[in-house]
Amino acid sequence: MITAHVDIFGPRHRRAFSLVMLAGLAGCASPLDTDHDDVRTIKEQLGTIRVLGEDRGLTEGATLNSMLDDLKKKDRDSKDRIELENRLARIAELAKTGETTSITLPETRRQTLQNNLSIQAVLLDPAIAKQAVRLQQAKFESTFNLSVTQTRTVGPQFVPSKNNPPTTFDSERTQFVAVPSVDVPLRSGGNLSVDWTTTTSLQSTAQGSSSNAIVQPGVSITQPILRNAGYDYNESSIVIAQAGEARAEAATQYSILSTLLEAETTYWNLYRAAEILKVQKDIYNYTKKTLDDTRTQVNAGYGSISSVYNFEVTLSTSVSQLLSAEDSLAIAVRSLKSTIQNPEISLDGSAAIVPSTEPILRTFDFDKTLLVDAAVRNRADLLGLEAAQIEATIEVLAAKNQLLPELDFIGSYNLNGFDFAGRSLPTARSDIFDGTTVNNPAGFSIGVTASVPLGNEAADANYQSALFSRLQAIANTRQQEITVATEVLNAIDNLEFGWRQILVARYEVAAANRNLEAMKTLFQMGERTSTDLANAINLLALARINSVSQDANYQIDLANLAAATGCLLGHAGVEWRDASRLDLLENPQTLSPPLPYDVADAPPAEADPKKKTSESDDAPTPATMNE
């Protein structure tokens, strides 16, 4: 190590320079200070739960009582009731969605895999685990070391004389030492070190001066014989890290499959909500036409006014159910949007997503044994447990090695080259190989070191703990195999039950259609009351909704069976290793902002949204309502 100090400033210059440095340091904000301020800002936002509406995101409107009073004032004659029905019609129009975007089930999977941030985050786990493997492999990398030192020692020296009084002289010694070396870790657990020590020195005293140069290349080795010895022990940490990488990949695949299953479930829930909304629209239109026909008959002197009142109640109930279905559809659309996380689609209701993939409605023959075996082979959670079991087994082998006493072999060998006539390093180096080494024999050392703990309780406890951990890993694997088999068999039973439910629902719809057609004919003949016809309409609505729900449930059960076996439905698998997009994590995208107006109202002129053609006002017949 060479150390030098040169004072280029005077005292006043040094003080001025120190002040300038302090001012510069004070002007440079540390990143840690910024983080400290951010944490303090977050803490200031905590401690008090705010009241909804403080940020003016929620404003109060008319009360329910005032709205009911307004309805009572207008509900006096038939003209006012017609106005109320028109209001109900305008409310029903709110169920019309804005712009629609069609999406298929494969496209849903693709966008979820590409954009979903939870998937993108979990994709980093294998990359992190891979770096842990590199870290363990790096322990066998060689290391180059260099030590350079120059020292100067000055001390008094007392020189006696016969005829003169004692005289004190200063002795001076200057020495330069350079030691380059390479350390090579051995996979057997030892360490090999090769160095080339170079030394020059100059010593001056009252009697004179002397100088010399020394060159000493050497090699040394340390090798464990019992504890910490062997390839198996020293490479065990690498295999453990590789097992950890396998566990991370298994956990990642399981998480991705779960997210994709959630996307499929959300997709079919959206299909259910969209179909139920269609049913409620049909029921509303049918009820509205029935009310209009009944009122026409009453005005012509046929029928009873009570039938009109009954259908008015039925119409109000239909509007309520229609709005409820529209709200369920909006929630289902938003749920799918939050799953696929397409940055071009806003979370608000300005754009509706319409599922275009038709449900699979067919029976299947199940070989339960083959499906359970496939699940045991494919399930990522089982593969992760098997990797953990391998990891526990290696931990046992490593802990068993630590039960052995420590016995290490140490040895070194070095050559010597000298130049006492001066400080010539080439002369010293040539002195090693010029045949005069008989005067400068090589040096060596050899020996062993031993260490035996009295009792060895720590190593034994670690070994027993590793054994128990391995047994625990085996039990966890076996238990998960039972759980996987149970999930597969339950999914098969659910599918078989779901298919029977589909057949029953189809029969129920057909029967409800026949019942409605008969009740309508009998009502027109005066043999049935309006209540009977209203009940028939409700029965058909319930039957169709149940049929739609059974279709959607069957698709979800199919997806659950595929996930229970560790697979996905479709014609191609999913390669997720290349799906990582660090740009989404480094620069997270926000979804499009909502529109500043209600899509059910007339949009402002500057918005100019695409106009949508109005639906037909013709009410469906009972036959078309089943389509």
Cα→Cα distances 77→73, 83, 88, 225, Å: 10, 10, 17, 106
pLDDT digits (tens, 9 = 90+) for 62-100: 554 555 455 555 544 455 555 556 656 655 565 555 567
Which pLDDT value is given to residue 26?
47
462 pLDDT band (50/70/90 cuts)?
A: very high
Which pLDDT value is given to residue 84?
57
pLDDT above 90: residue 18:
no
- 322 or 205: which leads in pLDDT: 322
**Lowest model confidence (mean pLDDT) among 73-82, 220-229, 406-415, 605-614:** 605-614
Q: Are strands 208-224 and 417-419 parallel, antiparallel or unpaired?
A: antiparallel
DSSP category for residue 434: S
- C-beta of residue 492 within 8 angstroms of C-beta of residue 371: yes
Q: Does domain 98-130+243-388+474-568+597-626 have CATH number 2.40.50.140?
A: no
pLDDT above 70: residue 583:
no
pLDDT above 80: residue 20:
no
Residue 75, number of CB atoms within 10 A of its CB: 11
Q: Are strands 99-103 and 351-355 parallel, antiparallel or unpaired?
A: parallel
Which pLDDT value is given to residue 366?
83
d(CA 582, CA 574): 19
Mean pLDDT calculated for residue range 219-228: 93
49 pLDDT band (50/70/90 cuts)?
A: very low
DSSP category for residue 595: P
Per-position b or e across 267-300, b if 16+ CB within 10 A of its CB = bbbbbbbbbbbebbbbbbbbbbebbeebbeebee
What residues contact residue 183 under an 8 Å CB cut-off, 6+ apart? 142, 143, 145, 191, 192, 193
pTM above 0.95, yes or no: no
58 pLDDT band (50/70/90 cuts)?
A: very low
Which pLDDT value is given to residue 191?
94
- 616 or 215: which leads in pLDDT: 215
**Lowest model confidence (mean pLDDT) among 3-12, 172-181, 441-450:** 3-12
Which pLDDT value is given to residue 16?
53
Mean pLDDT calculated for residue range 572-581: 56
- C-beta of residue 177 within 8 angstroms of C-beta of residue 148: yes
First to last CA, the chain: 91
What residues contact residue 337 under an 8 Å CB cut-off, 6+ apart? 345, 346, 347, 353, 591
Helix axes 124-137, 236-299, angle to 10 degrees: 180
- 612 or 257: which leads in pLDDT: 257
d(CA 114, CA 576): 9
**Lowest model confidence (mean pLDDT) among 6-20, 113-127, 237-251, 583-597:** 583-597
Mean pLDDT calculated for residue range 354-370: 86
> Which among 270, 254, 274 is positioned nearest to 339, based on CA atoms?
270
* HSE, side-chain direction, 13 A CA sphere, residue 602: 1
d(CA 274, CA 552): 11
- 364 or 596: which leads in pLDDT: 364
3-state secondary structure of 616: coil
Q: Which long-range contacts (CB under 8 A, 24 or more apart) does 299-303 make?
A: 303/526
Which pLDDT value is given to residue 168?
64
Q: Are strands 143-159 and 167-185 parallel, antiparallel or unpaired?
A: antiparallel
Average pLDDT over all residues of the chain: 78
d(CA 135, CA 132): 5
Written as one letter, the residue type at 224 is P
Which pLDDT value is given to residue 145?
95
d(CA 194, CA 413): 10
pLDDT above 60: residue 412:
yes
pLDDT above 90: residue 192:
yes
What are the domain boundaries of the chain?
A: 98-130+243-388+474-568+597-626, 143-185+190-227+406-451
**Burial zone of 432 (CB within 10 Å; 0-12 exposed, 13-18 middle, 19+ buried):** middle
- C-beta of residue 349 within 8 angstroms of C-beta of residue 599: yes
**Lowest model confidence (mean pLDDT) among 162-176, 181-195, 471-485:** 162-176
Cα→Cα distances 285→91, 95, 434, 537, 622, Å: 13, 13, 113, 11, 11
453 pLDDT band (50/70/90 cuts)?
A: confident
d(CA 130, CA 493): 41
pLDDT digits (tens, 9 = 90+) for 99-123: 678 888 888 888 888 888 888 888 8
d(CA 70, CA 63): 11
Residues 596, 599, 604, 610, CA torsion sign? positive
Length of the chain: 627
